[in-house]
Amino acid sequence: MSLKERIIAESQRLGIDKIGFASAEPFTELEASLREQKARGYTSGFEHPVIEERIYPEKTFEQPKTIISIALAYPTKARETVPKDEKRGMFARASWGIDYHDILRDRLNRLIDFIQTEAKTRQESENWRFAPQVDTGELLDVSVAQRAGLGFIGRNGLLITEEFGSFVYLGEIITNIEFEVDDPIPFGCGDCMRCINGCPTKALLGDGRMNAQRCLSYQTQTKGMMPDEYRKKMRNVIYGCDICQLVCPYNQGKDVHFHEEMEPEIDTVYPKLKPMLQLSNKEFNKQFGHLAGSWRGKKPLQRNAIIALANLGDRSALSEIFQVAKDDVRPVLRGTAAWAIGRLGKKEAEKWLASLQELKEQEQDEAALLEIEKALEMLE
């Protein structure tokens, strides 16, 4: 077998679900799009900041020849039933199980170790170089994967594979080893616009790009006040968004369970919302620290939990929410809690108007004050 064939065989043994080999030639076809996105303010700020390094692999890796792209498929349905005991939030499926960055890095590093053992001489092994990347690296994972033949980039900007739809994690290895490359997969959405029509915030532009600032997944990861227009639309999802995936025809019936470390714990990925409001840092790290969705820390998830309680109409949470509005040291949480009281307190409007008026008199933060004013208007 050729080295490429041996790598493919080893990838299957390591539990890598798809693998492909792409040229490390510059991704010049992306330049105009990336610059336009940045100029229009459509980027999230989470991307690698230097556009040239996203386009030209040689900017960050000396003499790149090939990029090995891998995909791991993740589950879309929990094995257990979600209890109906009290109101719960939800993490998007890509944040189920152990943080996918750790899983992918493990597979990439093990694959590199294997390739090193396949060198014919010590000198060849010493000359071979590798740079593994997950989505925190310079390259666009979906563009590499599409060029490597793993799938095509759909209208929603996600890689869509034949076997697993878009429910895959992607990673890659840049190397100075030259391999025979695989054929790219052509666009396969045809005239379908389901993801575009299904996106509640109209974040998708229709050509595989998006206004990331309008994406609910982005909004759940911000640390400030969530703009009003997104609050009801996030429903009870406290991290991420799956809507453009769930409506996609390529994803219908897709649900694989290949990797035990990706399997969700119900109480973690469908957490009870009320207890989240008073979590200590230690409790937060114990319950959520292993998830990809914990990377922004406790505050965004607690803010989102308050919004979710309001969206679910959980009036039983009003006392807990009031405690946050009254005592929390973080203005974002105080303001969001006040807004939630405005949504939930209408049946006892006089009681909560008095409570909000009390909060207004002691509040010093302008953004939190604005939320209290909104809540008072809702109740008056």
Where in the sequence numbering do the catalytic residues fall? Answer: 135
Closest by CA to 360, choosing from 346, 347, 380, 19, is 380
- Burial class, 119, CB count within 10 angstroms (exposed 0-12 / middle 13-18 / buried 19+): middle
Q: Match 């493990």 to its residue by tokens.
A: 106
Cα–Cα distance, 237 to 216 (Å, whole number): 9
How are beta strands 168-175 and 66-73 bridged, if at all? Answer: antiparallel
> Is 73:164 a contact under the CB 8 Å cutoff?
yes
